[in-house]
A and B are shown apart, each in its own frame.
Chain A
Amino acid sequence: MGILGMNQSCDSYLDVVPDNVSTIDHAFKLRNEAEKYLFTLYSYLPSNGSVANIGMLAGDEIWIPYQTSIYSNAFEIARGNQSVSNAYVGSWNSMYQAIRHCNIFLENANDPTKIRDISDAERRRWIGEAEFLKAYYHFLLVRMYGPVPLIQTNLGIDATKEEVAIPRNSVDECIAYIVELLDASADKLPMIITDRTLELGRLTRPIAKAVKAKVLLTAASPLFNGNSDYANYTNKDGKLLFDQEFKNEKWVQAAAAAKEAIDIAEEAGHKLFTMPPTSFSLSEQTMLELDLRQAITERWNEEHIWANPNSTTADLQLQAMAPLHVDHNHNNARKILSPPLKVARQFYTKNGVPINEDRTLSFRDDTQLRIATHEERFHIAEGFETSRLHFDREPRFYASLAFDGAVWYKYDSPSNSDENTFVLRSKRTDYAGSTHAFHFNVTGYFIKKLVDWNQTMSSSGASYRVYPWPEIRLADVYLMYAEALNEAYGADNDEVFVYLDKIRGRAGLEGVKESWTTYSTNPSKFTTKEGLREIIHQERLIELAFEGHRLWDLKRWKKSAIYLNAPITGWNMAGENAISYYQINTVYQQRFVAPRDYFWPLSENAVIQNKNLVQSPGW
């Protein structure tokens, strides 16, 4: 009957898959496809220009109303809810995924039989980019988790349980490998992006050098350099993960790397940003404020060594901006990003020294009120009564923060000038008051620094001019260099002051030596390594405020345990008049457990799954 014969063609009947179903091999046949793979590597860069930036919401620099406008996992850490069962904003999985992609890319790009239609020069540059990213992703892991397993090459998916159980490498091994990759990549990367239309935002040599400086600075810092808290932190086989010996050499290397990064950056044309003239006639004060604000928000400005166009800032600006008129809708200017009072206090006086050191000015009582004069009108609305704390402050205070009564000059100023321009009013019944169910400010401070001055608002809506997020600006590298120099060689090194004073000069302040000598109650502070260290730390916190650096710097300096155990305070946002509004209100009592909270926990199951992996200390 032939029935059985019908079964002859068995296997072929079941071959339903045509030949060209896409598999991973297709990704490296042609340049066009391989470029997509290269972009995949970039796609793992964190979106730091948003409220997802761990540095912004996991620490003590910015507070937000809890679970109303946005739900942030990073903020759970700030609230002390980090746990092993549910490690918030861990990047263990995503960074290792990114590293696997880097390895796949490098394996294929290094194989001349793959991507046949690419030029040698471009292949070399792509390899450099992949090497950089592989190093950078490892660095992000080290910063969060301390010693981590280095994945230099990929394992196959058929790897055995033993092969997969990779232990942590020591911090020194991690840093050495990261630096080695960064050095390898720097030579392959271009000095500048010549095709600005298509490629701006891709990696360059100044970026590689600046990141190298940052890596070495981190490695030299107290958290990593001879930290005795981790004397017993070993792998299962007894391998010590933190070298217990403090090595000044690490600071020396960090200083050299920072200097190299500065030289390369300046060679590539980077310099501190100053605002070009505008079509409006603006006061000196306003122009200075714009120098400082636009250094961050001006797109692709010369100060940005590395700006990431994949992390744009529309939402970040929306969350920072406040309504500046009764017609402005709370939805278009949500103002939830609320710096605590301690961050407002951290800025210098107009004399360039800390508020508690200024011998000419007293800031003892924050709730003391004062009325703004005509001369102060570019910072505080004339005749407005507000806290003493808001008067006589350095330009960066007014450029970074807005507060009840603060002037917020923007391009769409109704007066077309900085006279009679927008004023923020945030008492409860005012237009920026905390009346909205979701979008409200909890401290009375608003981040002016993150909003581009081209932001416009009307009763019908708002438009935000987005800017690629500046990952590294030249000011950061100057401060790294100053810090490393002081640590490596002490305070009697003039170059420290050269770079500190460049930053201060752009901010309209006199140099460190002049300021302290003239105004400080501790005029010789800068003459000791420790005193200068304090000055450099504060300068860094002020200059880089709200850019997501403070969390990491405090960790690096082992200062988190001090800063993050202080209460988060702000003004009484329910207050409807000056008396009731200018009461200090405790928003949250933060808790930081040292040394546990310096590093992220691994998930509970990660250490059960991988027998050779040890949990971060304290967790």
Chain B
Amino acid sequence: MRKPTIYHKYYFNSLFMLILCMCSIQFISAQTGQVRVEGTVSDGTGPLAGVTVSIKEGTNLGITDANGRYSIDVAVNVTLVYNYVGYDRIEKRITAVTPNAQKVYVLNVVMEQLGGEEIEDVVVVGFGTQKKGSLVSSITTINPKELKGPTSNLTTMMAGRISGMIAYQQSGEPGADNADFFIRGLGSFGAGKVDPLILVDGIESSPTDMARLQPDDIEAFSVLKDATAAAVYGARGANGVILITTKTGAAGKTKFSFRAENRMSSNTRNFQFADNIRYMELANEAALTRNPLAILPYIQTKIDRTAAGDDPLLYPNNNWIDMLIKDYTFNQGYNINASGGGERARYYVAGTYNIDNGVLKVDGRNNFNNNIKLKNYSIRTNVDLKLTPTTDAAIKVYGQFDDYSGPVGSYDENNNRIHGGQHIFRSAIWSNPVMFPAVYPASFSPYTEHPLFGGAVSGLGSTSLLTNPYAEMVRGYEVYKTSTLQPQLELKQDFSFITPGLSARAMGYLKRYSYFNVVRQYNPFYYRSYLNPVTGEIDLSVLNDGGPNSIGVTGSEYLNYSEGDKNLDSRMHMEASVNYAQRFGKHDVSGMLITILSSYQTGNAGSVQSSLEQRNQGLSGRFTYGYDDRYLAEFNFGYNGSERFASGYRFGFFPSFGLAYRVSNEKFFESLHNTINDLKFRGSFGWVGNDQIGRREDRFFYLSEVNLNDGAYGAVFGENSFYYRPGVSISRYANNLITWEKSRQINLGMDMSLFNNSTEIIVDAFHQKRYNILEPRSFLSPTMGLMGGTPQANTAEAESKGLDASINYNKSFSQAWWATLRANFTFATSKILKRDELDYPENMSYLYRTGHSVAQTFGLIAERLFVDDVEVANSPQQFGTYMGGDIKYRDMNGDGSITLNDMVPIGWPTTPEITYGFGGTVGYKDFDLSLFFQGSARSSFFINPENISPFVLNGGAQNGLLSVVEESHWSEDNRDAYAFWPRLSPQFVQNNTLRFGPNEQYQSTWWMRDGTFLRLKNVEIGYNLPTEKSRRFGVNRFRMYLSGSNLWVWSKFKMWDVEMGGKGLGYPVQSVYNVGILVDF
């Protein structure tokens, strides 16, 4: 095999030649029979800079300068075309003109802005733009202004605003608050990629990259939903594509825009604890109800003295949420941008600075800040250059930097990272509230410099201490920094001189990402208090000083340091395309061919195979044909290769076809134009692929993955165990035949504009069939003796279908009143069509996954709680040790025992099937008010009973008592078979938690809840200083606004913010109140 790098070089050379070739074209037109045309282009209020002036047949002649002036030499009998983004194009025919005395023909042009102040008629599509009117595919575009809100995370603004996107947010922790989002719902299952491809200016980006974008900097935001739109992305487009383009400069005087926001953020909802007297009483009940001989954890004296509250140091009484969490915090966000330029160079530069703070309290005794503080800065420079009259270049450099500091995070039982904030919230509920105070007053030990944290041994004779969540929070801090740098170069060459309408484009970028984190923390000293029998006063004794009776980790006054992760990755991408667009009479023809190469590599990959470059290569094309703006046809294809598959299975061809019929342009429709301004029907059909299948480690399915030095399979021999050799393990067997997942998509859509374009309705219905989904072979039984995961094959199929619709309404009622209303709705449901499943006997056919949603949960049906032990004895065998008051499950297959084969599909899918939003803005004179509601329906989530099992001692954790448990639990006095909580217990009850191993926890209907909600997502009240007034201060626009987000939620579920679902004990979603100003000058 030859070295791959050779091809790099080859490719670079080719690209270099192409660029050279473009640059070297010197286009000098013939000078005969010509006239000089000069003039000014304006929009009626002022000059327009940067308007391109060209001959209709293609040749670009120039652009207007800062004063809107242009000057060109043209032949007689040509048509000049004036083009400016966001403005209606103007055509002027130069016939027999009379030049003035200076032999110059003066032609002043007034251009009209389109559809308000933002561009509306051009839609960003894969590798280009298309006119909205001639779109055939299903693409949602959204005005970036709608994504503005009091947040520094763009992803939190998408739910309910983008038709076709299902989105929800499960955490409000700065740095970990990205929403999850899927285009048209989940279409596949397994370990592979299911979320969309995100491209920012063509650069492949992560959800976090997207989260950090500022709406101020976004020019256009498109979501490609169907095969016709996404086919050009070939093997990477099956999950939908999000295309974002950033703003470019407009020629003219430098314009500045400055926005500053100050946000007050607080938890939408905190979980509620019962009071601690009840905590102790019920802890005693829990012990006794399971074992009548049990020793009571809390003696009556302690309960009485705690209730009296006269000695909080000896009889502590903590509400950890109150002690750890502030009511609110303040965040700031600043964005400034400047744009301008002249004929040859235009620029847009922007800088952003956001500070997001957490809601954690800080201990004044430490000289470091343990609260969460995430600062992110970004700087963006977009420069457009006119290298020659026909050659454009764009150089974009973007740098994004996160600086985070926060409490020390942790890892869960599956070794997944727990962010610091989430860890603190979880510690708050996982800690005993009555065994120790958070910290003793420093006066107890005037000479010690460290805080005197309260502590207690986790059980008699134990060597570990109970968790003190306050100490957990303030004991240190974790810092991480990330940086993303992405320089990008784009060249466009107009080849109209060869044939009108022909152009070429090449783009390349390099993206480097780096991350590191460092943890610095001290080991707290914990103290216990006792009544000194001699002095009769409270004394403290240290629990973990390292002496002979020291318990737990020995304390230290100094900070320890631990090396953190260091992640680096690099992506290189190049693409080159030829474009052709021309109109012949009534025939509109365009074509595009693009070839791409991309390569991705990560620094700490973990294995040889993972460390190798991930490459993609492809050729894509788009051909469109339009007849009289009435009949539109489009053919797209992607031909892609991925290095993950065996030679021969690497390349895939993904064609798609689309047709549209613009009824409103028919003659017979003219009579209807008063009501229906525009009506178009669209249909598309095609294939898209997904090569990101399987686990991340499954890089090369055609190779086996073998560890020839696996310590877990080693052995040792010799008298003194002297000779050790590691062993061999196989984590994957070679399989040549594995290839990508494919998606066949059908989309039917309608676009309609009504009532003078005041109302716009877009409706799309879709059907998608996903096949070649990778899944394990069901029949490879254990007697095969295979190691690692079961070998897989591209065997499963799923379909998803649904509807997305949006309606927009814009109207000015008078000079003073105006309104815009928006609503959109997304419904996406999925069904597994085929899976390689076991052949279940007839009475167990409910076990088949086929026929259910890809996100369907299977679980046991909980009938109710056992009434008493007699019923327990006469019911089917359940799990572990259980008694009256524990959950009773239904024996589905009637074999007399409850097993995992009694699990049936329960509830809605875990990903919502419906996301919707509605709202609008009403303006009166200089004031405006916006409201936006967002909702979600048809989803279920599961409370994790282990997380809220009160009194259970689990290592140092001992759960608190939520008020819902206190209010409703089964007890011997109150045998409520439908109480929220089963019989109390000081230990986990396997029958109720359904935990069978570290990674094995199953669900039941008992803990299932409905995820449906509707929330008041955003409110904004704004005041714009009238232009006449603001101009006096040299300001074009001045706006002040008050806004808020997540202000109210309607849901049946009250324990925590329902949108957090099963992650309810983490860092809550935030309600934000914001004051902002926006100044343009």
Which residues of A line the B interface, CB within 8 A?
1-7, 9-19, 21-24, 26-27, 33, 35-37, 39-40, 42-43, 67, 79, 81, 83-86, 92-93, 96-101, 103, 149, 151, 154-155, 157, 159, 161, 164-166, 196-202, 299-300, 309-310, 312, 329-331, 435-439, 459-460, 604-606, 608-611, 613
CB proximity to A under 8 Å, residues B710-754? 710, 712-723, 725-730, 733-735
6 pairs, CB–CB < 8 Å, chain A vs chain B: A15-B647, A17-B1, A17-B643, A100-B787, A157-B733, A438-B459
A310 to B719, CA, bound (A): 12
A459 to B1, CA, bound (A): 65
| Contact B4–A11 (Cβ < 8 Å) | no
| Contact A14–B615 (Cβ < 8 Å) | yes
| Contact B548–A459 (Cβ < 8 Å) | yes
Which of A11, A27, A92, A97 contacts B706 (CB under 8 A)?
A27
| Contact A43–B708 (Cβ < 8 Å) | no
Which of B18, B460, B787 contacts A3 (CB under 8 A)?
B18
| Contact B899–A84 (Cβ < 8 Å) | yes
| Contact B781–A24 (Cβ < 8 Å) | no
| Contact A40–B713 (Cβ < 8 Å) | yes
Q: Closest approach, in angstroms, between the C-beta of B650 and any C-beta of chain A?
A: 6
CB proximity to A under 8 Å, residues B824-848? 838-841, 844
A130 to B708, CA, bound (A): 18
| Contact B783–A151 (Cβ < 8 Å) | yes
Give the segment of B6-14, B118-126, B526-534 that binds chain A.
Answer: B6-14
Residues of B within 8 A of A98 (CB): 785
| Contact A36–B708 (Cβ < 8 Å) | yes
Residues of A within 8 A of B728 (CB): 24, 27, 36-37, 40, 101
Whether A21 contacts B703 in the complex (CB less than 8 A), given A196-B719, A197-B718, A199-B718, comes out as: yes
Most interface-central of A3, A12, A67, A164 (chain B CB within 10 A): A3
Give the segment of B55-63, B210-218, B606-614 that binds chain A.
Answer: B606-614
CB proximity to A under 8 Å, residues B89-121? none
Query: 5 tightest A-B contacts by CB?
Result: A437-B459, A100-B785, A85-B899, A40-B727, A436-B461
Which of B7, B707, B785, B879 contacts A101 (CB under 8 A)?
B785
Whether A437 contacts B717 in the complex (CB less than 8 A), given A14-B617, A40-B727, A608-B839, comes out as: no
A interface footprint on B437-466 (CB within 8 Å = 1, 0 otherwise): 000000000000000000000111111000
Which of B576, B719, B784 contacts A300 (CB under 8 A)?
B719
Residue of A nearest to B4 (CB): A16
A199 to B716, CA, bound (A): 9
| Contact B839–A309 (Cβ < 8 Å) | no
| Contact A436–B462 (Cβ < 8 Å) | yes
| Contact A198–B722 (Cβ < 8 Å) | yes
Which of A16, A93, A165 contacts B643 (CB under 8 A)?
A16
Residues of A within 8 A of B784 (CB): 96, 100, 154-155, 157, 159, 164
| Contact A201–B717 (Cβ < 8 Å) | yes
Most interface-central of B723, B879, B900 (chain A CB within 10 A): B723
B947 within 8 A of A: no
| Contact B717–A14 (Cβ < 8 Å) | no
| Contact A37–B727 (Cβ < 8 Å) | yes
Chain B interface, DSSP helix/strand/loop, else mixed:
mixed
Residue of B nearest to A66 (CB): B881
A545 to B725, CA, bound (A): 33
Most interface-central of A97, A101, A149 (chain B CB within 10 A): A97
A299 to B2, CA, bound (A): 56
A103 to B700, CA, bound (A): 26
Which of A3, A84, A157 contacts B735 (CB under 8 A)?
A157
Residues of A within 8 A of B461 (CB): 330, 435-439
A202 to B704, CA, bound (A): 30
Q: Closest approach, in angstroms, between the C-beta of A57 and any C-beta of chain B?
A: 16
B504 within 8 A of A: yes
Q: Closest approach, in angstroms, between the C-beta of A136 and any C-beta of chain B?
A: 14
A155 to B785, CA, bound (A): 9
CB proximity to A under 8 Å, residues B584-608? 593, 595, 597, 608
Whether A10 contacts B593 in the complex (CB less than 8 A), given A26-B706, A67-B987, A98-B785, comes out as: no
B468 within 8 A of A: no
Q: Closest approach, in angstroms, between the C-beta of A607 and any C-beta of chain B?
A: 10
Q: How many residues on B have C-beta within 8 angstroms of the other chain's C-beta atoms?
A: 96
| Contact B785–A154 (Cβ < 8 Å) | yes
A13 to B463, CA, bound (A): 59
Residues of B within 8 A of A157 (CB): 733, 735, 780, 784, 786, 791
Residue of A nearest to B996 (CB): A86
A574 to B739, CA, bound (A): 66
Residues of A within 8 A of B508 (CB): none
Residue of A nearest to B461 (CB): A436
| Contact A36–B727 (Cβ < 8 Å) | yes
Residues of A within 8 A of B899 (CB): 83-86, 604
Which of B462, B704, B780 contacts A23 (CB under 8 A)?
B704
A98 to B784, CA, bound (A): 10
Residue of B nearest to A199 (CB): B717
Residues of A within 8 A of B10 (CB): 9
Residue of B nearest to A312 (CB): B721
Q: Closest approach, in angstroms, between the C-beta of A611 and any C-beta of chain B?
A: 7
Whether A200 contacts B2 in the complex (CB less than 8 A), given A2-B14, A6-B576, A610-B781, comes out as: no
B782 within 8 A of A: yes
A98 to B787, CA, bound (A): 9
Residues of B within 8 A of A26 (CB): 706, 708
Q: Closest approach, in angstroms, between the C-beta of A2 and any C-beta of chain B?
A: 6
B779 within 8 A of A: yes
Which of B700, B730, B733, B786 contacts A17 (CB under 8 A)?
B700
A39 to B712, CA, bound (A): 11
Whether A12 contacts B595 in the complex (CB less than 8 A), given A3-B18, A309-B721, A609-B838, comes out as: no
Most interface-central of A11, A14, A24, A33 (chain B CB within 10 A): A14
B641 within 8 A of A: yes
A84 to B703, CA, bound (A): 36
Q: Closest approach, in angstroms, between the C-beta of B504 and any C-beta of chain A?
A: 7
| Contact A460–B717 (Cβ < 8 Å) | no
Residues of B within 8 A of A35 (CB): 725
CB proximity to A under 8 Å, residues B1-46? 1-2, 4, 7, 10-11, 14-15, 17-18, 21
Residues of A within 8 A of B783 (CB): 92, 96, 149, 151, 164, 166, 610
Q: Closest approach, in angstroms, between the C-beta of B161 and any C-beta of chain A?
A: 38
Residue of A nearest to B780 (CB): A164
Most interface-central of B460, B463, B719, B728 (chain A CB within 10 A): B728
Q: Closest approach, in angstroms, between the C-beta of B425 and any C-beta of chain A?
A: 27
Whether A85 contacts B459 in the complex (CB less than 8 A), given A14-B650, A33-B708, A155-B784, comes out as: no
| Contact A608–B838 (Cβ < 8 Å) | yes
| Contact B641–A12 (Cβ < 8 Å) | no
Residue of A nearest to B899 (CB): A85
A37 to B839, CA, bound (A): 36
Residues of A within 8 A of B17 (CB): 2
| Contact A39–B11 (Cβ < 8 Å) | no
B619 within 8 A of A: yes
Q: Closest approach, in angstroms, between the C-beta of B16 and any C-beta of chain A?
A: 12
B897 within 8 A of A: yes
Residues of B within 8 A of A81 (CB): 880-881
Whether A331 contacts B463 in the complex (CB less than 8 A), given A19-B1, A101-B785, A164-B784, comes out as: yes
B901 within 8 A of A: yes
Residue of B nearest to A574 (CB): B293
| Contact B727–A1 (Cβ < 8 Å) | no
| Contact B782–A96 (Cβ < 8 Å) | yes
Residue of A nearest to B462 (CB): A437
Whether A309 contacts B716 in the complex (CB less than 8 A), given A85-B899, A85-B901, A610-B783, comes out as: yes
Residue of B nearest to A160 (CB): B779
| Contact A460–B548 (Cβ < 8 Å) | yes
| Contact A608–B840 (Cβ < 8 Å) | yes
Q: Closest approach, in angstroms, between the C-beta of B890 and any C-beta of chain A?
A: 15
| Contact B458–A437 (Cβ < 8 Å) | yes
B929 within 8 A of A: no
Which of A2, A19, A97 contacts B785 (CB under 8 A)?
A97
